[in-house]
């Protein structure tokens, strides 16, 4: 059976540096994949290749067996690590612009702004928003039109506990309705309750991947996802030192 998202031999180089080196990964519909790795491991580059703003040097990404086009991305939602919107436009205008590009109406914008709790500040200019509010706006934009794939790049960075809980709740709801989620993060405690699958990237290579249950079975002594991650990272580092 064709997986929902198939990544084959994905490689991206910046000069001599391999940001991604032959990544092989498949994701099924409804999976919640936690993409873990230190800074510079290639997580954002992988998302960039998926979303069309980074050109891979080699390899391919296929959605339901077909190459990903701009039309397929109409069904994607993306929350950037640093949400960048138009500062001179209001919250509503920003959300409306991105929703209109995907073909969604104002009522859908209102629905998502209400959902993330931005309805009361929708006439505020985006440049006057706090980081948390910007994050909410990015999420509202991503959620417009019930995307089938949600790509969230470091969504938990710098959030207060209440907002973090809200974000987790929304992600859970999206997954329950059938959306596939790809989440890159350093905040492993936040993604652990959500993740069904985990992929660990180290220096552009896939160090480990599988279901969360499989990884836990492979590392019975580990008491959390964070612990599993550190064990795998340490083992990889030791192997490299020995080589």
Partner 1 sequence: MKAEIIANGSVHAVSAEPHPGTRGVERTPALKRWRHALGLLRQTRIIAAKEFSDRFRSGWVVACVLVWLGAIGLTSFLGLIQVGRIGVQGYERTVISLLNLVQYLVPLLGLLLGHDLMVSENEERTLRLVLAGGVSRARLLFGKFIGGVLTLAVPLVLGFVIAGTAIGFAARDNAISPFLHLAISGLILGVIFLGTGLAISTLSRTRVQALVAALLVWCFVVFVFDLVALGITLSARAPAAAEEIDLLCDTTHVNAAADIHATFDNAGETAHLAAVPQNPPSLGWLALNPVDLFRAVNLPAQLGVHVPATTIFSTVFLWLALPFALSFWRFHRTDL
Q: List residues binding partner 1 (CB under 8 A).
A: 48, 51-55, 69-76, 78, 80, 82, 84-89, 97-98, 100-104, 108, 111, 114-117, 119, 138, 141, 145-146, 151, 169-170, 173-174, 176-178
Could you tell me the two tokens for 34? 């936690």
Could you tell me the two tokens for 182? 């790809």
Q: Which is nearer to partner 1, 173 or 240 (CB)?
A: 173
Q: Which is nearer to partner 1, 40 or 87 (CB)?
A: 87
Tell me the three state secondary structure of residue 229.
helix
> What whole-number distance in Å separates Cα of residue 135 and Cα of residue 128?
13
Q: How far is the CB of 146 from partner 1 (least distance, A)?
A: 5
Q: Which is nearer to partner 1, 64 or 69 (CB)?
A: 69
Sheet arrangement for strand 197-202 = 76-79, 149-153, 180-184, 32-36, 197-202, 205-211
CB–CB of 182/47 below 8 Å? yes
Q: How far is the CB of 104 from partner 1 (least distance, A)?
A: 7
Q: How far is the CB of 177 from partner 1 (least distance, A)?
A: 4
Q: How far is the CB of 235 from partner 1 (least distance, A)?
A: 32
Residue 125 gets which letter from DSSP?
A: B
Q: Which is nearer to partner 1, 124 or 216 (CB)?
A: 124
Q: How far is the CB of 139 from partner 1 (least distance, A)?
A: 12
Q: Which is nearer to partner 1, 101 or 235 (CB)?
A: 101
Alpha-carbon separation of residue 188 from 69, 155, 232 (angstroms): 31, 11, 14
């Amino acid at each position: 059976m064709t997986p929902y998202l198939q990544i084959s031999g994905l490689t991206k180089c910046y000069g001599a540096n391999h940001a991604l080196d032959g990544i092989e990964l498949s994701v099924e519909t409804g999976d919640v994949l936690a993409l873990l790795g230190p800074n510079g491991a290639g997580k954002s580059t992988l998302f960039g290749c998926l979303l069309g703003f980074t050109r891979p040097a080699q390899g391919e990404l296929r959605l339901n067996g077909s190459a990903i086009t701009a039309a397929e991305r109409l069904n994607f939602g993306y929350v950037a690590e640093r949400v960048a919107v138009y500062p001179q436009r209001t919250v509503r205008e920003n959300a409306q612009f991105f929703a209109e590009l995907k073909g969604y109406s104002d009522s859908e914008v209102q629905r998502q702004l209400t959902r993330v709790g931005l309805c009361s500040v929708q006439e505020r200019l985006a440049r006057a928003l706090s980081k948390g509010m910007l994050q909410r706006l990015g999420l509202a934009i991503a959620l417009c039109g019930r995307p089938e794939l949600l790509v969230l790049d470091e969504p938990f960075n710098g959030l207060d506990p209440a907002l973090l809980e809200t974000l987790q709740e929304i992600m859970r709801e999206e997954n329950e309705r059938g959306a596939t989620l790809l989440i890159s993060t350093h905040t492993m405690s936040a993604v652990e309750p959500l993740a069904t699958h985990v992929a660990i990237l180290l220096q552009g290579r896939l160090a480990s991947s599988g279901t969360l249950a499989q990884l836990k079975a492979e590392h019975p002594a580990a008491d959390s996802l964070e612990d599993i991650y550190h064990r795998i990272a340490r083992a990889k580092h030791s192997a490299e030192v020995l080589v």
